[in-house]
């Protein structure tokens, strides 16, 4: 099994993060991760800059995946949650409802994962930073299950949705500080050599979310 952290932010493109990219790669290697996915807020790393990161990671055998985290909204619902997007070649510029986002990403051959769908917001126990029950109305590819913002009740809701919708669950740290990296991961049963393998294996559900694998 190969461990990937699928949801990470750096200070280069996410103002809320304190992580330097080189520091992130070093930490991932120290932990024994097979790969990491960069999911900056509303931005996909430009290819030339991402290639520079790959040159740092390649000598260690660390796989890098270029993704992005997109906040969806609509006039009817307001904020509709955050979503991890992979397989799209450019930053998702503009305003999208969750349904529009999924349709556009799938049209480009990519995948969409609902980020922390049941993470509670400060607005109260029935308000979420994620999509909440809207996940039942979307054609998603996976749901983020193991996340630092998910308590046991939230994880139970995600597991039920996974069963009802026939979707796999992912694990990721959503790290904004380097010590958070790898606290939650996704295990891949088959070898991942790049984005094509990564997307295929998530689509086919051959993954497992794991909590705190490096601190049993």
Hey, which CATH number is domain 2-209, 3.90.1150.10, 3.20.10.10, 3.30.70.270, 3.20.20.140? 3.20.20.140
- Domains of the chain, residue spans: 2-209
* pLDDT tens figures, 75-104: 888 899 999 999 999 999 889 999 999 999
Measured distance CA(185)–CA(171) in Å, rounded: 4
**3-state SS class at 181:** coil
* pLDDT tens figures, 5-51: 999 999 999 999 899 999 999 999 999 999 999 999 999 999 999 99
pTM of the model: 0.94
Number of helices and strands (H, E) in the chain? 5, 11
């Amino acid at each position: 099994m190969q461990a990937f952290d699928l949801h990470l932010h750096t200070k280069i493109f996410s103002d809320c993060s304190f992580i330097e990219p080189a520091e992130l790669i070093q930490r991932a290697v120290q932990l024994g991760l097979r790969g990491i996915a960069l999911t900056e807020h509303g931005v996909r790393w430009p290819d030339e800059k991402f290639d520079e990161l790959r040159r740092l990671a390649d000598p260690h055998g660390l796989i890098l995946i270029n993704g992005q985290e997109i906040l969806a909204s609509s006039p009817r619902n307001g904020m509709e949650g955050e979503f991890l997007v992979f397989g799209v070649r450019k930053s998702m510029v503009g305003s999208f409802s969750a349904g529009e986002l999924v349709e556009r990403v799938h049209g480009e051959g990519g995948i969409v994962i609902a980020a922390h769908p049941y993470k509670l917001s400060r607005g109260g126990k029935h308000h979420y930073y994620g999509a909440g029950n809207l996940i039942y109305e979307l054609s998603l590819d996976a749901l983020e299950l193991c996340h630092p913002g998910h308590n046991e009740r939230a994880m139970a809701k995600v597991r039920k949705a996974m069963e009802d919708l026939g979707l796999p669950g992912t694990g990721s740290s959503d790290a904004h500080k380097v010590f958070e990296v790898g606290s939650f991961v996704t295990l891949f049963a088959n070898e991942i050599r790049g984005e094509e393998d990564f997307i295929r294996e998530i689509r086919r559900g051959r993954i497992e979310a794991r909590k705190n694998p490096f601190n049993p």
